C-alpha cells in the first residue's frame, strides 16, 4: 500500500457508485420503455 | 437468426424476457454485492480493497461487451439489413457507456489505495477512456441521424470502426508497460483464489443479465417510438390528402 488509508471508505464509495449507477440505468430504461409503449398504444387508439 | 428480425416475433419474446432478465440480474448482482461487502475474505496484499474487484471487473467486461454488441449489430445491419439490428446497436450504447463509466470510476477508486494514485495515462486506462468517448460519439451521432431521418449506415460504420479499440484495450497490458496487472483469467486457467474467482464470475453473470434486460428494454422503447412516429405520419398524410380533395 502506498500509504495508510481507510480501505473501507474506498470500498463503500465504489459499491455506492455501482449500485446507484446500475439501478438508475435499469429504472430509467424501464420507465422510458413503458412511456414509449403507452404512447404507441395512444396513437393506435386515436 | 433472421426469424428474430421480425419485430412482432421479437416483441412477443421480449415481453416476458425483459422483466425476467432484469429481475434475475438484480437478484444475482445483489447477492454478489452482499457477498463482496460482508462475506468475502480480505486479500493478503490488497486487504479490503480487493472487494472492489467483484464489481469493477464485471463492469469493465460489459463496457467492452457493449461495443462488441454494437459492432456485431452494425455488421448485421450493413450485411443482412436486419430491421432490428440498427435498434440493437443503438440499444446497447447506453448500458455500454454506463458500465464503461462505472468501470473507470471503480478502477480509479481502487487505484488510489492500491497504486497511490487515482489515474495514470497508461495504455489500459487511456484506451478504456477512449472507449467512453467512442460511446458518447456514437450516441450523439445515432441520435442526430435518427432525428434527421438520415441514413443510419453512417452510425453502423462508426460502430464497426470503433471496434478496433476492443483488442487494443485487451492487449494493452501485454504490449505496453502498465501499472495495471496482466489478465488474471485466460483460456488456460485462472491465477485467482476460488473465493474471488467465483464471486467475480457471479458478478459477471448478474451484470450480463442486467445488460441483456436493459438492451431489450431500450430496443422495445426504440421500436415503440418508430411505430408511433410511423402511425402519426400516416395519419397526418391521410388528413392532408382529405383536405386537398
Q: What is the pLDDT of residue B241?
A: 79
Q: Do A7 and B48 touch (CB under 8 A)?
A: yes
Contact residues on chain B for A19, CB-CB shorter than 8 A = 33
Express each pLDDT in B86-99 by its tens digit.
999 999 999 999 99
Average pLDDT taken over every residue of chain B:
90
How far off is chain A from B73, nearest CA to CA, in Å? Answer: 20
Contact call for residues B93 and B70 (beta carbons, < 8 A): yes
Q: List, for residues B201-234, the tens digit of each pLDDT value.
A: 999 999 999 999 999 999 999 999 988 988 888 8
User: Which pLDDT score is estimated for A2?
Assistant: 47
Is the separation of the CB atoms in B204 and B58 below 8 Å? Answer: yes
Binned at pLDDT 50, 70 and 90, residue B3 comes out as: low
Residues contacting B80, CB < 8 A, separation 6+: B2, B5
Q: Name which of A19, A40, A46 to mutate to probe chain B: the one with the most chain B Cβ atoms within 10 A of its Cβ.
A: A40
Which of A13, A26, A35 faces B22 most closely, judged by CB atoms? A26
A21 and B102 within 8 Å at the Cβ level: the answer is: yes
Return the pLDDT at B210. 98
pLDDT at position B231 is 85
pLDDT at B82: 83
- Residue B174: count other Cβ atoms within 10 Å of its Cβ: 11
Measure CB to CB from residue A21 to each of B98, B115, B222 and give the nearest one: B98
Q: How confident is the model over B62-84, as a mean pLDDT?
A: 93
Is residue B187's pLDDT more than 90? Answer: no
Give the closest-approach CA distance of A45 to chain B in angstroms. 11
Residue B173 has pLDDT above 70, yes or no: yes
Residue B112, pLDDT score: 93
Cβ-defined contact of A17 to B225 (cutoff 8 Å):
no
Separation of alpha carbons B245 and A11, rounded Å = 70
Which among B182, B236, B232, B225 is positioned nearest to B7, based on CA atoms? Answer: B225
pLDDT tens by residue, B101-123: 999 999 999 999 988 899 999 88
Distance between CA B49 and CA B106 in Å, rounded? 11
**At B43, is the secondary structure helix, strand, or coil?**
strand
Please give the pLDDT value at position B214. 98
Q: pLDDT class for B79, splitting at 50, 70, 90? A: very high
Write out chain B residues lying below 8 Å of A37, CB-based.
Answer: 220-221, 224
Nearest neighbour of A39 by CB, restricted to B101, B222, B224? B224
Read off the pLDDT band of B192 (50, 70, 90).
confident
pLDDT at site A1: 47
* B109/A14 touch (CB, cutoff 8 Å), yes or no: yes
Mean pLDDT within B156-183: 86
Partner-chain contact A29 B94, CB within 8 Å:
yes
Please state, in angstroms and as integers, the Cα–Cα distance from residue B155 to each residue in B15, B69, B80, B94, B220, following that order: 27, 14, 16, 14, 20
Q: What is the mean pLDDT of residues B126-134?
A: 96
Exposure pattern of B87-100 as b/e (b: 16+ CB <10 Å)? Answer: bbbbbbbbbbbbbb
Q: What is the pLDDT of residue B42?
A: 85
Q: Give the model confidence (pLDDT) of A1-46 as tens digits.
A: 445 678 999 999 999 999 999 999 999 999 999 999 999 999 887 7
User: Grid coordinates representing A33?
Assistant: 420503455
Mean pLDDT value of segment B53-81: 95
> Which of the 8 DSSP states describes residue B189?
E
Amino acid at each position: 500500500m502506498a500509504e495508510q488509508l481507510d480501505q473501507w471508505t474506498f470500498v463503500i464509495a465504489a459499491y455506492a457508485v455501482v449500485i446507484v449507477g446500475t439501478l438508475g440505468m435499469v429504472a430509467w430504461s424501464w420507465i422510458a420503455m413503458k412511456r414509449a409503449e403507452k404512447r404507441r398504444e395512444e396513437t393506435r387508439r386515436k | 437468426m433472421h426469424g428474430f428480425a421480425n419485430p412482432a416475433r421479437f416483441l412477443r419474446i421480449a415481453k416476458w424476457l425483459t422483466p425476467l432478465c432484469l429481475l434475475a440480474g438484480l437478484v444475482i448482482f445483489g447477492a454478489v454485492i452482499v457477498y463482496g461487502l460482508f462475506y468475502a475474505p480480505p486479500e493478503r496484499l490488497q486487504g479490503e480493497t480487493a472487494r472492489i474487484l467483484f464489481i469493477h471487473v464485471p463492469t469493465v467486461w460489459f463496457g467492452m461487451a457493449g461495443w462488441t454488441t454494437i459492432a456485431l449489430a452494425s455488421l448485421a445491419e450493413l450485411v443482412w439489413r436486419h430491421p432490428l439490428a440498427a435498434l440493437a446497436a443503438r440499444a446497447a450504447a447506453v448500458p455500454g457507456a454506463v458500465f464503461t463509466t462505472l468501470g473507470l470510476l471503480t478502477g480509479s477508486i481502487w487505484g488510489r489505495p492500491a497504486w497511490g494514485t487515482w489515474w495514470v495515462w497508461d495504455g489500459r486506462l487511456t484506451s478504456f477512456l477512449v472507449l467512453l468517448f467512442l460511446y458518447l460519439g456514437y450516441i450523439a451521432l445515432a441520435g442526430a441521424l435518427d432525428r434527421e431521418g438520415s441514413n443510419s449506415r453512417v452510425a453502423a460504420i462508426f460502430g464497426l470502426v470503433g471496434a478496433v479499440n476492443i483488442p487494443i484495450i485487451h492487449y494493452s497490458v501485454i504490449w505496453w508497460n502498465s501499472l495495471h496487472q496482466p489478465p488474471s483469467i485466460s483460456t488456460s486457467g485462472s491465477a485467482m483464489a476460488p473465493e474471488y474467482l467465483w464471486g467475480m464470475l457471479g458478478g459477471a453473470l448478474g451484470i450480463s443479465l442486467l445488460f441483456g434486460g436493459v438492451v431489450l428494454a431500450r430496443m422495445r422503447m426504440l421500436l415503440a417510438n418508430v411505430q408511433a412516429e410511423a402511425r402519426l405520419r400516416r395519419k397526418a398524410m391521410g388528413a392532408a390528402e382529405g383536405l386537398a380533395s
